[in-house]
Amino acid sequence: MNKYTPVIGLEIHVELSTNSKMFCGCKNDPFGADKPNSHVCPVCLGMPGALPVPNKKAIESTVLLGLALGCSINRHSKFDRKHYRYPDLPKGYQITQYELPFCYGSELHTSEGPVRLRRIHLEEDTAKLLHAKNKGEESRIDFNRGGVPLMELVTEPDILSSAQAKEFGKKLRTIILYLGISDADLERGNMRLEASVSLRKEGETALPSYKVELKNINSFSFMEKAIQFEIKRQTALLEEGIQPAQETRGWHEQTGETVLQRSKENADDYRYFPDPDIPPIELSEELLNELKAAIPELPSAKVERWKKDYAIEERYGTMLSDDRAEADKWDALFSALKKETVPVADVVKDVANKKTAFTNQTPVAEIHAHYHAKKTADAPSPEKIAEAVATVITENAKAVADFRAGNEKAVMFLLGMVFKRLQTKLGADAIRAELLKQLKKI
Amino acid sequence: MLLDNTITELGTLLRSKKISSRELVEEAYDSIEKHNGALSAFITVREKKDALCDADASDASSSRGPLAGIPFCLKDAYVTKDLKTTAGSKVLDTFVPPYSATVVQKLLASGAILIGKNNMDAWGHGATNENSDYGPVKNLWDTTRVAGGSSGGSAAAVSARMAAFSIGEDTGGSIRNPASMCNIAGLKVTYGRVSRYGAIAYASSLDTVGPMAKSVSDIAEILEVIAGVDPKDATSSRREVPHYSTLLEKPLSGMRVGIPKEFFAEGLTPEVRDIFVKATRMLESLGAQTLEVSLPSLPFGVSIYYLIAMSETSSNLNRYDGVRFGNNPSFFGEEGMRRIIIGTYALKAGYHDDLYGRALKGRTMLIREFDALWETCDVLLGPTIPTLPNKLGDLSENTMSAYLADAFTAPVSLVGSPSLAIPAGFSKSGLPVGMQIIGRKFDEATILAVGHAYQKATDWHKKKPALLS
């Protein structure tokens, strides 16, 4: 049997949480609408004569994500029309960005290696189709979602496993939530995952001559499962000498399988051209500087800082930095605990391993009391202390002589030596007392 | 007739209560009654009682903008709330818009009285109005001839005193061409000068909204009301709107008038050429200094224009799927289908670079050539159309000849400059001939001043067709 390496790329769509839609003043709140087609106007319904006016906030959110991810920014950009006909697309074309996406380049690190980002661009969402369940019923269209700002991030096919795809998606989602540009709710579909999967023989470097796009994925674990299934399916085909077809497949949770949705043997021709209704977009240096200044400390930087300042292990830091508001609370707690000389890393370890019920809301005094008690309990026994002090006194005759000559600093040195020998500072008061007692006896 | 007067004169009469808006509206409806059957200038005429009701309200009101109480009509390309809007196509035969175009809102707010919606080539596709799904518009000067297009209904209505003015729409000549064929004035504004919001799109990078009226001073009055930035049109300009009507009286002495020699090409009817040359002599006698200039790419203008316009229209018309409003796409007429198919090809992968892409390069070339001329010229002058109005049906078998009617107007649209078409004389057979005065972008004031000076010295624009007397 041959060994195959998966070649996986992701396309991630994210609805931005702006007040209004991408190209009109309608409220951007498809989930809050009390009835279908209540947040609509001539523009998002594609009425004759209506014109799009781009949403500044949506552009800024997209550029903000690009800057946070270290992407290059196209200072001169534009919107293009992508043509296809479907009832959920009222103008018969989608306004999107073709040649000049707002952001391009950079990479995002995962535990299995870096994943290069190809581009991030901005477009408009389609309306929602409600298909007839029974024969004779009509299908219906709800335009509340139509025209909502939709950001699309595309990676290079650098992902090697389903687990890495999941890690990438989660990491990206955390950053999006940190920036506050979207709710990124997968279940509601305001974050949508698409994976393209193909296989090549181990050691080969050229991209496979086909790819299978996976859609209808509304959670990270479904994505993981769908990719795993697809790797198995494609491996079986390749082993039989059959090249998998270029197609789009949907994930079916009930059966745990991917199912053919659409064959893509022929490339679509979307007849892209610059939207003449929207002048080119110029992003000023000032705006980019403003946006850069607005980027909060991102989770990766936070974890790094916690490691440096509090010796918190990376895996625990990652766990507690998932949510920005919660992370900020932990941050405040850590700083307060450190002032009280509570061992922060130990607290985090216990919290992460569910060995304590402490939260980031627990009063500092309570935590302090707990770890102070713990400190006494874990302190070395009086016998051990006496033994260590005696050894240190014997081994450091010069320092002892200094002490006897009235040099108070010598005590600090000797105390440090005892701590080192005991490999702890717990019970420091008792240790200091024993040291002074033995020194006076000399 | 009261409607022979200029808008300025009518305003004075209305303000001094010598006439009422009701009388003007009555007169407009009388003209429609008398001539619309022969001309087909309208697709929809508003209920007379509704218009009279508006007129009475205007007469009773003390607020008096320059257009208050003045009857007007709109090319049927402008959406009007609760009033059927078709763009001349049966695809929209059942379409009653839920909103009004910005230009409509501005005119209604200024107190002007809407009379109806003018016939037009479907979607603006045409230069003779024979592509209207509601029948061709006929020329009041000779009803066996076309009124021009695509704003033919607007031109016919104004020339027949069915309103004081109409708002036309010019993409490649659609205001200037019928204005010249019907002996009225028509202004293609600078792209971005007037909001396109609510103008049913033909080709979005070329479409402009402009006035059609009997005199240049009328045009200035209307432009002042409709021009300006619109938050609903991202391509509308923030430039301040000058008081055009106060800038009309400008001596022509020293005015540098460039005449591109490429206008005198094969295809220019000798009679049209002679009338045009006479008009330039008149401007010279008023102090203007004429000079021959060159626009080497002008002969490519029509090809460049049609590639871009058809590409854009194939995209713009994609929304007419019959799902949310209107009829299904089988209602598209022959010319609409032709332009959709050609435009679709021009944008297709494999053809895109050679067709649409090359047209964009040609457009840039033209823009550079025009820009260079503004170093030595204040305005440019040319004939509006190369021929006299054709007989109905003459060009129906010859699409290419029909497209060539845009040869002198379309290049100006491609560069975005304003261009004012005004009457310049008559053929021996008594058909109107017009000329166009082209200006720097956003310099409508200068071309209006030149046109106004010419109209003060001539009376072509005051001639009325025999049918009206």
- B99 to chain A nearest CA, in Å? 8
- For residues B243 and B224, the answer to whether their CB atoms sit within 8 Å is yes
Per CB-CB distance under 8 Å, the chain A contacts of B324 are 45-47, 90
Nearest CB to B315; choose among A48, A87, A93? A93
Six token digits for residue A134? 């029974």
From CA B239, how far away is CA B20, in angstroms rounded?
36
Give the distance, in angstroms, between the CA of residue A249 and the centroid of all CA atoms in the same chain.
26
Question: B250: Cβ–Cβ under 8 A, 6 or more apart, which residues?
Answer: B446, B449, B453
Question: Could B347 and A271 be called an inter-chain contact, meaning their C-beta atoms sit closer than 8 Å?
Answer: yes
* Number of neighbouring beta carbons within 10 Å of residue B10: 24
From CA B212, how far away is CA B223, in angstroms rounded?
10
| Residue A39 DSSP one-character state | S
Query: Taking CB atoms and an 8 Å cut-off, how many pairs form between chains A and B?
Result: 98
B303 prior amide bond cis, ω within 30: no
* Annotated catalytic residue, options B100, B174, B236, B314: B174
B72 pairs with which residues across the strands? B114, B165
Span B57-69, pLDDT tens digits: 999 998 778 899 9
Domain positions in chain B are: 2-468
B238 pairs with which residues across the strands? none
**Amino acid (one-letter) located at A297:** E
**Amino acid (one-letter) located at B156:** A
Six token digits for residue B345? 């090809």
From CA A263, how far away is CA A253, in angstroms rounded?
21
Question: Could A53 and B349 be called an inter-chain contact, meaning their C-beta atoms sit closer than 8 Å?
Answer: no
Task: Classify strands B113-118 and B42-45 as parallel, antiparallel or unpaired.
Answer: antiparallel
Six token digits for residue A274? 């610059």
Percentage of chain B exceeding pLDDT 70: 100
Nearest CA in chain A to B98: A42
User: Which residue ranges in chain A fall short of pLDDT 50?
Assistant: none
The owner of tokens 């509308």 is B236
Domains of chain A in sequence order: 4-287 (no CATH), 297-378 (no CATH), 382-441 (1.10.10)
B45 pairs with which residues across the strands? B116
A273 pairs with which residues across the strands? A81
Averaged confidence pLDDT in chain B: 96
From CA B248, how far away is CA B246, in angstroms rounded?
6
User: What confidence score (pLDDT) does residue A412 get?
Assistant: 86
End-to-end CA distance of chain A: 79
User: What confidence score (pLDDT) does residue A355 get?
Assistant: 85
Closest to B19 in 3D by CA, of B231, B164, B165, B151: B164
CA distance to A187, A322, A338, A345, B85, per residue, from A325 (Å): 21, 9, 20, 20, 53
* Annotated catalytic residue, options B150, B166, B217, B245: B150
From CA A183, how far away is CA A197, in angstroms rounded?
27
B174 assigned to active site: yes
Six token digits for residue A151? 């950001």
Per CB-CB distance under 8 Å, the chain B contacts of A278 are 234-235
| Strand boundaries in A97-202, DSSP class E | 103-104, 107-110, 113-124, 128-130, 140-142, 149-155, 191-201
The stretches of A344-427 forming alpha helices (DSSP H) are 344-352, 364-378, 382-395, 397-404, 409-422
Six token digits for residue A71? 């992407």
Nearest CB to B321; choose among A47, A85, A269? A85
CA distance to A5, A29, A154, B348, per residue, from A268 (Å): 28, 32, 18, 10
Q: Does A138 touch chain B (CB under 8 A)?
A: no
Phi/psi class of residue A37: alpha, beta or left (left: φ > 0; alpha: ψ in -120 to 50)? left
| Residue A34 DSSP one-character state | S
Question: Could A49 and B231 be called an inter-chain contact, meaning their C-beta atoms sit closer than 8 Å?
Answer: no
CA distance to A137, A396, A403, A415, per residue, from A433 (Å): 88, 18, 15, 10
- For residues B428 and B191, the answer to whether their CB atoms sit within 8 Å is no
User: What confidence score (pLDDT) does residue A352 get?
Assistant: 87
Task: Classify strands B71-75 and B165-170 as parallel, antiparallel or unpaired.
Answer: parallel
Q: What is the ipTM of this complex?
A: 0.96
* Annotated catalytic residue, options B75, B117, B214, B441: B75
**Amino acid (one-letter) located at B133:** D
What b-and-e string marks burial along A385-412, b requiring 16 or more CB atoms within 10 Å of the CB?
bbebbeebbeebeebbebbeeeeeebbe
- For residues B31 and B81, the answer to whether their CB atoms sit within 8 Å is no
Question: Could B235 and A277 be called an inter-chain contact, meaning their C-beta atoms sit closer than 8 Å?
Answer: yes
Question: Could A92 and B98 be called an inter-chain contact, meaning their C-beta atoms sit closer than 8 Å?
Answer: no
Closest to B159 in 3D by CA, of B109, B447, B438, B168: B168
Phi/psi class of residue A186: alpha, beta or left (left: φ > 0; alpha: ψ in -120 to 50)? alpha
Give the distance, in angstroms, between the CA of residue A130 and the centroid of all CA atoms in the same chain.
32
Percentage of chain B exceeding pLDDT 90: 94
User: What confidence score (pLDDT) does residue A415 get?
Assistant: 87
Six token digits for residue B430? 């008594």
SS (H, E, C) chain B: CHHHCCHHHHHHHHHCCCCCHHHHHHHHHHHHHHHHHHHCCEEEECCHHHHHHHHHHHHHCCCCCCCCCCEEEEECCECECCECCCCCCHHHCCCCCCCCCHHHHHHHHCCCEEEEEECCCHHHCCCCCCCCCCCCCEECCEEEEECCCCCHHHHHHHHCCCCCEEEEEECCCCCHHHHHHCCCEEEECCCCCECCCCECCCCCCCCEEEEEECCHHHHHHHHHHHECCCCCCCCCCCCCCCCHHHCCCCCCCCCEEEEEHHHHCCCCCHHHHHHHHHHHHHHHHCCCEEEEECCCCHHHHHHHHHHHHHHHHHHHHHHCCCCCCCCCHHHCCHHHHHHHHHHHHHHCCCCCHHHHHHHHHHHHHHHHHHHHHCCCCCEEEEECCCCCCCECCCCCCCHHHHHHCCCCCHHHHHHCCCEEEEEEEECCCCCEEEEEEEECCCCHHHHHHHHHHHHHHCCHHHCCCHHHC
From CA B444, how far away is CA B242, in angstroms rounded?
9
Q: Which of A26, A84, A143, A277 to mutate to test the interface with B (most CBs of B within 10 A)?
A: A277
CA distance to A54, A121, A276, A346, B235, per residue, from A279 (Å): 10, 17, 7, 57, 6
From CA A116, how far away is CA A32, in angstroms rounded?
36
Question: Could A276 and B205 be called an inter-chain contact, meaning their C-beta atoms sit closer than 8 Å?
Answer: yes
Per CB-CB distance under 8 Å, the chain A contacts of B99 are 42, 47, 50
Largest CA distance in chain A: 105
Phi/psi class of residue A241: alpha, beta or left (left: φ > 0; alpha: ψ in -120 to 50)? left
User: What confidence score (pLDDT) does residue A377 get?
Assistant: 64
Question: Could A87 and B323 be called an inter-chain contact, meaning their C-beta atoms sit closer than 8 Å?
Answer: yes
Q: Which of B80, B237, B319, B325 to mutate to test the interface with A (most CBs of A within 10 A)?
A: B319
From CA A272, how far away is CA A100, in angstroms rounded?
12
Residues on B contacting A at a C-beta cutoff of 8 Å: 78-79, 85, 87, 92, 95, 97-99, 101, 196-201, 203-205, 231-235, 311-312, 314-315, 318-321, 323-325, 344, 347-349, 352, 356
Nearest CB to B234; choose among A45, A49, A53? A53
User: Helix, strand or coil for residue A310?
Assistant: helix
Computed from CA positions of residues B243, B249, B254, B259, in that sequence, does the dihedral angle turn out positive or negative? positive
Domain B2-468 sits in CATH at 3.90.1300.10
Q: Given a cut of 90, is residue B398 above it in pLDDT?
A: no
- For residues A193 and A223, the answer to whether their CB atoms sit within 8 Å is yes
Backbone angles phi, psi at A102, to 5 degrees: -60, -40
Question: Could A48 and B85 be called an inter-chain contact, meaning their C-beta atoms sit closer than 8 Å?
Answer: yes
- B233 to chain A nearest CA, in Å? 6
End-to-end CA distance of chain B: 10
